[in-house]
């Protein structure tokens, strides 16, 4: 396949060829830039069943209330989703530490009825010790968990929530 690069200059040249009395190049570029900022380009991804499980902790904390004393205790919310079916699992954990990542992932596998080929977490230190696009360093405990379930950890890129948009929603 040969890639065709399209520049703004080329777009303007094609536009002016079809519209000789059209916008000047500077006006065309200004309008194009305004238009491109107003639309967010996205691509639909087809997910295969059983391929990946996206996991994350929800940003908002919830509270459990003791029925006897009335004391409220804040909890973290672990969320796992299968992107092909949108089947979702949610549970409360005490923290976002490695143990809670593992317990949440294990409970999700039980809920879904099996493990997936890959788990896609955020780059929390509890799951990913050091991020590298080609060779990330996975927390040893989480890595051992993945090996036990015959799955791999494929961390999402830092500051790229679209890598696992379904669980972010």
Tokens of 77: 């919310």
Tokens of 47: 């997910």
Instruction: Report pLDDT digits (tens) over 45-66.
Output: 677 888 899 999 887 888 889 8
Contacts of 83 (CB under 8 A, 6+ apart): 45, 47, 51, 52, 54, 166
**Going by DSSP bridges, is the β-strand pair 152-153/118-120 parallel, antiparallel, or unpaired?**
parallel
pTM across the whole model:
0.66
The greatest distance separating any two alpha carbons of the chain, rounded to the nearest whole angstrom, comes to 79
Instruction: Report pLDDT digits (tens) over 17-56.
Output: 999 999 999 998 888 888 888 776 666 667 788 889 999 9
Q: In this structure, how many other beta carbons lie within 10 angstroms of the beta carbon of residue 102?
A: 19
Question: d(Cα 141, Cα 10) in Å, to the nearest integer?
Answer: 53
- pLDDT at residue 158 greater than cutoff 70: no
């Amino acid at each position: 396949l040969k890639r065709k690069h399209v520049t703004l200059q080329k777009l303007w040249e094609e536009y002016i060829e079809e519209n000789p009395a059209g916008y000047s190049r500077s006006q065309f570029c200004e309008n194009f830039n305004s238009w491109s900022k107003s639309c967010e380009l996205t691509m639909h991804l087809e997910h295969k069943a059983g391929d990946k499980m996206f996991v994350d902790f929800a940003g908002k904390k919830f509270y459990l209330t003791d029925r006897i004393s009335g004391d409220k205790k804040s909890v973290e919310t672990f969320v796992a989703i299968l992107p092909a079916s949108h089947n979702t699992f949610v549970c409360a954990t005490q923290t976002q530490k490695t143990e809670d990542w593992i317990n949440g992932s294990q409970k999700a596998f039980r809920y879904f009825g099996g493990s997936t080929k890959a788990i896609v977490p955020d780059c929390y230190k509890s799951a990913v010790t050091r991020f590298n696009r080609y060779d990330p360093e996975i927390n040893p405990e989480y890595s051992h968990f993945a090996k036990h379930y015959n799955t791999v950890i494929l961390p999402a890129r830092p500051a790229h929530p679209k890598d696992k948009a379904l669980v972010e929603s």
